[in-house]
Amino acid sequence: VPVANIRNFSIIAHIDHGKSTLADKLLQSTGTVLARDMKEQFLDNMDLERERGITIKLQAARMRYVDKTGEPYCLNLIDTPGHVDFSYEVSRSLAACEGALLVVDASQGVEAQTLANVYLALESNLEIIPVLNKIDLPGADPERIRKEIEEIIGLDCSEAILCSAKEGIGIVEILESIVKKVPPPKDTTKEPLRALIFDSYYDQYRGVIVYFRVMDGKVKEGDVVQFMASGKEYEVGEVGVLSPVQMPVKELFAGEVGYLAASIRSVADARVGDTITLSRVKAEKALPGYQEATPMVFCGLFPVDADQFAELREALERLQLNDAALQFEPETSSAMGFGFRCGFLGLLHMDIVQERLEREYNLNLITTAPSVVYRVHCVDGSVVECSNPSALPEAGKRKEIEEPYVRIELLTPKDYIGSLMELAQERRGEFKEMKFITENRASLVYSLPLGEMVGDFFDQLKSRSKGYASMEYSVTGYKESKLVRLDILINEEIVDPLAVIVHRDKAYGVGRALTQKLKKLIPRQLFKIPIQACIGSKVIASEAITPMRKDVLAKCYGGDITRKKKLLKKQAEGKKRMKSVGRVEVPQDAFMAILRLE
Ligand code: GTP
């Protein structure tokens, strides 16, 4: 089709408002994917994604659509990840489009992520088509939500499409509206090649597969391309379109969306947001907006069994081929032995990597509590970045510590404003702004240390608002705080992975709560185990685990052998995720205790 008949669009929505369901219906109704070939939710094709019901990595699909007048179109849908950890990827995929469907659940209304994504879409100058989804639900109130979107976002919703992705209502209207309202790409085929990478993944046999949108020029098999940010050059082995399975074509032109394979060794060579150009006729300037994804959250990963260290390294190297944001370096801990300090975009990213290591690589790991990156100004004038509390320079050597702050926006029904303000204050949030976005819902803005948000903040937000509040955050920069390091001693030995950096005013409370929690989590032994929290050499809280007397098996009555076996098996399973620290067995939960203090 000519470039005038191409439409590139994406779907933006808050989690669970029905983005994937709608994408599926669009693919089905254009005959791109037959219903019977359709695994549930074609675009979310990672197993983990399907299980968790969220989109992590984005994908793309090309559809053919013949409109009501008989004119054929080529529609490229570029999916966006649905989680805050991946907002940079959302911004890159939006930059590859001319339009976006804004999907809002007609029973729920605008949520924090809806707003964040709309702002990203507006920044990329996209034509936005509002879609009110889930109108089949008894609680749906499209009229109210229509007004809400107009008031909050200032978007004209008089032509908003009423839709039920589940029942297939409104799908044709959406396709017609894409064709009519989303502008076609500009025809800049004559200019030097510039293509924007919005996704990439590592294929064992073909190397990295890069998904991109050609913004200017053209690209074909045999071309030598350069990735402008990494500077790496490769000869293109294959170009193609995503229909949605990969289908090779001869050449891709300005306005088109597709993939290329070029035996690229690692996704770090061809990162999301980078610009592809031709080596012999280079573009003058890369496309705007490239950022290297920087890890914000770090934790230690240690094999339970020291023999698995080499396997862990290999698994991390493999995952990194496919995940440019994942960082790791070897770490040695006096308590834990050899492991790796790993960096992630956020907590979800951390969870996913951990789960994949255990599931796909069969590793048995102990994960230490996540930490942010502190910036330490030392007395000697040097500045040290520290992502590991136990490596914080000594009190005498440091002048001040800075920590990362985020701007956080909470959207909540007005009944929960009080309890959410309390939550933000407990987490050292500085109040910035509150406004009522409708009669019943408010937006609260705080500046808050990222370190206070890592952990159970999101769970707390949900539980204190009965599930009704939503949030969105972005990192704003570093600020000085009065921070101290709290060390934990178990059986008189410092357990370095349990060290935490906390605000001075909270140190005593945290010390007390943490020692109490550890007392509950660490199993009793035959001897007494003291647990202490210290700042420097000063003990600020202490507890003790009393020695165990009874034999566990004594619980079994009458020598019932199956019960006995069960109990022993249960114990063995419990044991798997334990690390011996000195003479004490410390379970995985204890390393995460700091995240769930009462
Ligand atoms: P992420 O992938 O996390 O971004 O979520 P999503 O926005 O893609 O949501 P998804 O399509 O997975 O839908 C979330 C839930 O809403 C699923 O249980 C769907 O079955 C349901 N759902 C989606 N569309 C409709 C609809 O029109 N009506 C009803 N009743 N349920 C729907």
In the chain, what percentage of residues exceed pLDDT 70? 90
How confident is the model at residue 349, as a pLDDT? 85
CA 53 / ligand 1 centre spacing (Å):
9
What is the per-residue pLDDT across 118-163, written as a single tens digit (0 to 9) for each? 988 998 999 999 999 999 999 999 999 999 999 888 899 999 999 9
- Give the mean model confidence (pLDDT) for residues 57-65: 80
pTM, entire model: 0.80
Q: Residue 254 and residue 218: Cα distance in Å, rounded?
A: 6
Strand partners, 443: 411, 435
- Distance (angstroms) between ligand 1 centre and the Cα of 82 equals 12
8 Å CB contact between 411 and 110: yes
pLDDT tens profile 227-265: 999 999 999 999 999 887 889 999 999 999 999 999 998
Average pLDDT of span 460-471: 90
CA of 26 to the centre of ligand 1 (A): 14
ipTM computed for the complex? 0.96
pLDDT digits (tens, 9 = 90+) for 519-575: 999 988 888 999 999 999 899 999 999 887 655 555 545 555 566 666 566 555 544
| Cβ of 134 below 6 Å from ligand 1 | yes
Q: Rounded to a whole number, what is the distance in angstroms from the first to the last CA of the chain?
A: 62
Ramachandran class of 559: left when φ > 0, alpha when ψ lies in -120 to 50, beta otherwise: left
Q: Are 42 and 134 in contact (CB under 8 A)?
A: no
pLDDT in tens, 269-291: 998 899 999 999 999 999 998 88
Q: Is the CB of 50 under 6 A from ligand 1?
A: no
Ligand 1 atom 15, closest CA: 16
Query: Rounded to an integer, what is the distance from CA 12 to the centroid of its chain?
Result: 16
Ligand 1 atom nearest residue 24's Cα: 11
Across the range 41-50, mean pLDDT stands at: 51
The answer to whether 326 and 344 are in contact (CB under 8 A) is: yes
HSE toward the beta carbon, residue 463, CA cutoff 13 A: 6
pLDDT at 272: 87
> For residue 20, what pLDDT is reported?
85
